[in-house]
Structure 1
Amino acid sequence: MSAPSRSALLLSGLLAAAGAAHFVAPKGFDAIVPKGLPGDPRRWTRLSGVAEVALAAGVAHPRTRRLAAGLTGAFFVAVFPANLRMAADWRDRSPVRRAVAYGRLPLQVPLVLWAESVRRGAGRAS
């Protein structure tokens, strides 16, 4: 298996696990849905979970990988406000929880870059 394919499958696995977590333990995700979004936070939690699972499937398949990886990068940018909300909400929590919340913020950059790398590598041999 080529390095681009391995990277794509790892990204797909991360997306699938994160998407599943939205359904297995939704309360934590509900809590970080930005207040400005209309409707019930659980709806947004479910929608983002479905999106991650769909992106995982798209990234896993060579024929849809390029498009899905590009959409994955956009998704990682789109969920950044939720990470900002988490950091703001957790600023008075324990040092460990604050570290988790603040650590998520710069993590978005390598995730977006990873998705872009998978997108660029999608045209190479699988």
Structure 2
Amino acid sequence: MMESIKKNKELLRVILAGSLATVGILHFAVDEPFIKIVPEFLPAPAALVYISGFFEILGAIGLLIPPVSQAAAWGILALFIAVFPANINMAVNNIHLDGVPDGAWFQAIRLPLQAVLIAWAYWYTKFDDNPKQASIIPGLPRTE
């Protein structure tokens, strides 16, 4: 199974980038749910949501630009850690978001999922000279 995952590393890179871009866009298009879960002790919740959305989009793009993909992966990893308090806040304070399950079972899955996301981003922090690395820039990486 691990070999299959390694074989699909670039497909998984595109899935991670697409997911990040989608969620990042949602931070701007539908900001209320994100603002609602920002812990009260943090200042300017709306600004924090927009900043995190911006960096999710930037990270998604960077992950698909081979010369900066490692740095982008480190940034994504840091972002996943930075937003974890919002996930904890949602779980601890039973914050209900329309359309999002909020039972104990959901929180039991949702919080550990953050560790999976962190590990997923970490996978791309390692140097990779794969000539078939997913890229949004034609000709990169070089296939010679």
Superposition TM-score tier, normalisation by shorter sequence: 0.7 to 0.9
| Structure 1 residue 118 corresponds to structure 2 residue 124 | yes
Gapped runs of 5+ residues in structure 1? none
Q: Does the 8 Å contact 1:32/1:85 carry over to 2?
A: yes
Aligned to 1:6: 11
Highest CA radius of gyration, 1 or 2? 2
Aligned to 2:72: 68
TM alignment of 1:9-88, pairs within 5 A: 9-39=14-44, 41-88=45-92
Distance 2:96 2:9 in 1: 41
TM-score (norm 2): 0.75
Q: Over aligned residue pairs, what C-alpha RMSD do you find? A: 2.1
TM-score (norm 1): 0.85
Shift of 1:88: 1.4
Question: Greater CA deviation, 74-83 or 97-106?
Answer: 97-106
Aligned to 2:112: 106
Q: Alignment length, in residue pairs?
A: 122
User: Identity over aligned residues, as a percent?
Assistant: 33
Gapped runs of 5+ residues in structure 2? 1-6, 134-144
Distance 2:26 2:95 in 1: 24
Instruction: Report the 3-state secondary structure (helix = DSSP H, G, I; strand = E; otherwise coil) of the residue aligned with 2:126.
Output: helix
